[in-house]
Structure 1
């Protein structure tokens, strides 16, 4: 039987790679959802390019689906998704999972009030404790495994600015992660005000690892309740 469910296109955040979605994809598969995961070129052992390159990678994945798509963006992934999905009729809905839902002319740094560096041709150092920032509700073993998978991230993506954000023309849901220590709750709430709908999950920055079944159920509810 051919599935009538849209494909969920999963877009990872900074320092991460597509494999970070493996637990969530298994749960979504059990619910009958086809999934694809984008490999953003600005993250990886050979990190390269900037926001336009990530947006192009997303557009290519959307085109490859060949049918209706709901895009799920995590953290930094929200920025290239907003840039990529504008004007694509096959994209039915956008989900910003504790993600940057930026407006016209905004960059990650400008949203945080951080001045652009003189030189953007390099990598973003991973400052602080990634265990605390990304994986606060994972077991020690799972957090250590996740940290071992972190990769290089291009700095340029922090200063590249969104042109025409897709959420201005495509319905969107913002999923607030209430225990997130990477993107503080007040900033999530500020961006959530831009979304068509807002949901919440009691998790740290990475519920696809710590609460995959709960997140899959929430995504299913978002998809099936769209008016």
Structure 2
């Protein structure tokens, strides 16, 4: 229970491309210490030839295990399957897009960036060259390299699949712009954030759950308590 007797929602944390649920561990430790219940999910498209619908099913399966309301926090690519999944969920009180793709129906990651979409996508997108500065520019060197070593190839289909539904049209949403991001440029984030109901900004690179977990936890708590009020 939060102050004033307001029930706290469960926070479901959904990772981005090439990553896994491990990336949330530091943030979860901070949130858990503050009395929050958190859950995370491993998206099959990281390491398997799976698409957006497969990832959305994994999110829905995890949501079904949560009693009571949930706030879903999506990072980067994770915003795409989350938008797809939440349109079918009945226990999500709020969506948080953390430097994430808040796409609309008919859009794909590749299409959003104006890249050609292969008609029959197969195989994987390799881990980017020099991922540490791209994803973890403000994470201490040794920790950034350790995280980079855990990245896995990402299914090409997940970048090509288009959304068939977008839950943010019916579920309130907040966008968190990471102002120093080297992976999803801030100007792209600002365009996507225009679709959200509220916008916050933090002075981080792409992975604030590793570089500034305390600050991110405080902001997520503020957003989540607002959704429960």
If the TM-score is normalised by the length of the shorter chain, which range does it land in?
Answer: over 0.9
1:73 and 1:99 in contact (8 A); partners too: yes
Do residues 196 (structure 1) and 197 (structure 2) align? yes
**Please, which runs of 5 or more residues in structure 1 have no aligned partner?**
none
Corresponding pairs, count: 225
Q: Deviations over 1:50-72 (max 9, x none)?
A: 11100000000000112110000
Aligned to 2:131: 130
**RMSD of equivalent CA atoms:** 1.5
Task: Tell me by how many angstroms 1:177 deviates.
Answer: 0.3
CA displacement, residues 150-177 of structure 1 (integer Å, 9 cap, x when unaligned): 1121000111001110000000000000
Return the offset for 1:4. Answer: 2.4
Contact 2:49 2:124 in 1 (8 A): no
Aligned position for 2:43: 40
- Scaled by the length of structure 2, the TM-score of the pair is 0.95
| Alignment correspondent of 2:65 | 64
The residue correspondences of 1:1-227 to structure 2 (distance < 5 A) are 4-44=7-47, 47-226=48-227
Whether the 8 Å CA contact 2:27–2:209 is kept in 1: the answer is yes
**Alignment partners' CA distance in 2, 1:147 and 1:132:** 10
What is the SS of the residue equivalent to 1:158?
Answer: helix
Do the aligned partners of 1:5 and 1:32 also contact (CA within 8 Å) in 2? no
Q: Report the Cα offset of residue 42 of structure 1.
A: 0.8
Instruction: Write out the 4+ residue segments of structure 1 that deviate beyond 6 Å after TM superposition.
Output: none
Normalised by the length of structure 1, the TM-score is 0.95
In 1: Cα distance, 2:127 partner to 2:90 partner: 37
Alpha-carbon distance in structure 1 between the residues aligned to 2:219 and 2:54: 30
C-alpha deviation, 1:5, in angstroms: 1.0
